[in-house]
Structure 1
Amino acid sequence: MTETEWIFEEQAAVPRVHSVPYSHRSIELGYFPLEELLSPDPASITRQFATRAPWVAAARQVEESREGIRPRISTCVLVDDFSATATHTPSEVFTTLLEAAGSAGLEIDYVARLAAFAQFGDISPAELVSQRIVEEPPAGTTAARPPVSAVGWLTNGERSPSSSVAAMSAPRTWQPPREHAVRSHSVFLDVELWTDGPDGRLWSASMLYATWQLFRLGLLRSHGRDVFVPSSLDSLPGEWAKMPPIIRLNPAAPAFCAYRTLSFMNTTSPVRPEAVRTILSQVAVDWTLIVQSNERAAAERLPLSSEIIGRTDYVIAD
């Protein structure tokens, strides 16, 4: 006979990971600096929405073509208020967005604030993500490069060795940088995540945007709970700083989080998709969340990439 081993564990010691509702696709209609929305001439905003309208229609058509699926597609806009000082009220900002989108035949379901992903109340979503970054050390390397937690830089490979040599030493042969898991040729990236100064930590736009992407994918929690829940407001506050992190504008909109995301950027955006992909590829997402999203997507017969970066798409169009 074999003995039975009993393990007693307090239920409170096992954090419960909350599940979130999912749309099939989250379409980000634009990433707009707050200063641009406060410009007296909103023509550039209108042009951007008009340029993206055909792409949005095509994305909807793709989702609608899936047999046996009635697509749930939500739209959002990200306002970059991280380093801006708003002099206009939220009502004025929202009027600019809604009128510009409406002129292109687009409807905005949600509006989000980038600054909230740096800090909102006692929660720093960017810090939650930084704690889950797992660096991929190049084979045969030493500790010459400090860890990302010490320097705030993340790379997707191995940079060229330093050309400096000790006196009287033979000159070193130059070696090119090399990407991890390279296929045919390397594309080497070094991405700044943050800088530390006398006023504390300043998160980079790339890090905040990667955090925003994880939230849109429903893959970000704080102690098992939702980081943010979209708010429906009867009236907008008088000051931009008092705005909730995410505002639901359309009461009938599908869920904010989605199995996959589509994001529109222009060529002058401070965020580069390749930098965001580098960060996302090295974030160890809670496995429970991966299982949840995979199982629910499978139940809807929706193919879903096993890699996080395979769930995000980008269109760069001015």
Structure 2
Amino acid sequence: MSAAADAGARYGAGDWTYRETTAEPRTEAVPYAHLSVLLGRFGPADLAGVGTGGAAADAAAERLRDHFARVVPLYRAARAQVTGDAQGAPARPRVSRCVVFDDSGPSANGVPPADAIAVLGAAAHAAGLPLDHLIKESGRGPADADAGDGRSQAAAPEGGGADIGALLHGRLVPEPAVGGNGARPAPAVDHRLSNGVRPSRPGTSEAMAPGARWAPPLEIGARRHSVFLDTPLWQDNPVSGTRRWSAPLLLAAWQLLRLGLLRDHGGVVRRPVPYASAAPPERWDDLPALVQLADRAAPFCAYRTFSVLDGGALPAAHAARVVLTHTAADPGALRQSAERAAAEGIALPPSPADRIGYAFTRAGPGGDAV
């Protein structure tokens, strides 16, 4: 009997399947912390005076120290909940700490990155919360700086790479029409996304029909009372031809990145880049999108996230949740995170939106910028 016939006899001639290995995208593994804590969102106004010396610099440093001091009890409460998730509660849970900087607009470069990182790091350290990572909200690295907001560049994920806004937008799944039977495709997601049915508008054929009345907006899946939300996803500049992603969409994108669930064909989209403190860039455009500040930082990705934001960011967080509930996360990454968590005795909610927690503080850093 030939080798081929022997193989057919042993394994069954009809069971052989040939396929290209490249047809099955591989989900790249990432290290996981138990919890990722965002200690605050900061904009140029929050860092006004930093690096100038004198009273203005001292006042900025004092504001930041006050902010991180108010975050300490919230951080401790979030960290304590990690041990409740595991059957064998970890004696030393892996918790990563990060901050986000609003680098949109030319005013961002009014505060050099080195000065901002120094004063943020010192204030956080004084509160006992040394920083592991710094996030640039735009998600753009040096390779993207000349392309404008929302343009993808062929670059390594460490520096910039695939546009995180475009990646998330490509995974949005719109709600089916209320009362539909599935015969008609759901409306395509455009530059806005809502959690229900928008109100009827005067002047439409439906509104002009005999007996037609104005109908209020309706939240799909409302609990007793309908809370309708309609959020923008981007804004195009007709002059420059560039696109700027909205704050809620970027917040949702970074939540998925912190959960390790936003991928590009299974690959990691943003990797932490060690901070080059010896030769820091002078512009935020020249800084990587995700910077590792600590030599022995906890993993950036985590099973859950907890974010401390100013109370003024509550609408953006609500809108970000709507975006996340309409997002089809990478199935391989979802499976990977669930399996890794289960191996540590941690049961994760199936929906990424339910792995996210917030605490909102009184007026402070980032309140006017979201």
- Give the TM-score of the pair, scaled to structure 2: 0.78
- 1:173 maps to what in 2? 213
Do the aligned partners of residues 84 and 38 (structure 1) sit closer, same or farther apart at CA in structure 2, a change above 3 Å counting?
A: farther
Is 2:266–2:333's contact at 8 Å kept on the other side of the alignment?
no
Match for residue 273 of structure 1 among 314, 317, 323: 317
Q: In the aligned structure 1, how far is the partner of 2:116 from the partner of 2:314?
A: 20
- Give the residue type in structure 2 aligned to 1:230: P
- 1:317 maps to what in 2? 361
More helix by share: 2
Match for residue 90 of structure 1 among 113, 116, 128: 113
For residues 1-318 of structure 1, the aligned pairs below 5 Å read 4=14, 6-39=16-49, 40=56, 41-42=59-60, 43-65=62-84, 66-70=86-90, 71-85=93-107, 86-116=109-139, 118=150, 121-122=153-154, 123-140=162-179, 147-148=188-189, 151-164=190-203, 170-198=210-238, 199-235=241-277, 236-269=280-313, 272-318=316-362
Instruction: Measure how far apart 1:37 and its partner are.
Output: 1.9
SS at match of 2:129: coil
Q: In the aligned structure 1, how far is the partner of 2:98 from the partner of 2:290?
A: 9
SS at match of 1:19: coil
Is 1:262–1:314's contact at 8 Å kept on the other side of the alignment?
yes
Is 1:205–1:271's contact at 8 Å kept on the other side of the alignment?
no
Worse-matched range after superposition: 114-123 or 225-234: 114-123
Kindly provide the CA deviation profile for residues 50-91 of structure 1, in whole angstroms up to 9, marking residues without a partner as x: 211111111122224555232111100011102243123221
- Give the residue type in structure 2 aligned to 1:114: E
Q: In the aligned structure 2, how far is the partner of 1:131 from the partner of 1:240?
A: 27
Q: In the aligned structure 2, how far is the partner of 1:126 from the partner of 1:247?
A: 19
Q: In the aligned structure 2, how far is the partner of 1:101 from the partner of 1:18?
A: 32
- Give the residue type in structure 1 aligned to 2:349: S
Q: In the aligned structure 2, how far is the partner of 1:156 from the partner of 1:104?
A: 39
Instruction: Measure how far apart 1:201 and its partner are.
Output: 1.5
Instruction: Measure how far apart 1:168 and its partner are.
Output: 7.9
The alignment's C-alpha RMSD in Å is 2.6
Do the aligned partners of residues 99 and 119 (structure 1) sit closer, same or farther apart at CA in structure 2, a change above 3 Å counting?
A: farther
Kindly provide the CA deviation profile for residues 260-279 of structure 1, in whole angstroms up to 9, marking residues without a partner as x: 00001102338621100000
Instruction: Measure how far apart 1:248 and its partner are.
Output: 1.2
Kindly provide the CA deviation profile for residues 248-294 of structure 1, in whole angstroms up to 9, marking residues without a partner as x: 11222221100100001102338621100000001111211111111
Instruction: Measure how far apart 1:6 and its partner are.
Output: 3.5
- Give the residue type in structure 1 aligned to 2:88: G
Instruction: Measure how far apart 1:305 and its partner are.
Output: 0.7
Do the aligned partners of residues 259 and 292 (structure 1) sit closer, same or farther apart at CA in structure 2, a change above 3 Å counting?
A: same
**Number of residue pairs aligned between Structure 1 and Structure 2:** 316
Q: Return 5+ residue gaps in structure 2 as ranges.
A: 1-11, 50-55, 141-149, 155-161, 363-370
Is 1:193–1:207's contact at 8 Å kept on the other side of the alignment?
yes
Is 1:29–1:49's contact at 8 Å kept on the other side of the alignment?
yes
Instruction: Measure how far apart 1:146 and its partner are.
Output: 5.5
Instruction: Measure how far apart 1:175 and its partner are.
Output: 2.4
Is 2:171–2:327's contact at 8 Å kept on the other side of the alignment?
yes
SS at match of 2:339: helix
Larger radius of gyration: 2
Q: Return 5+ residue gaps in structure 1 as ranges.
A: none
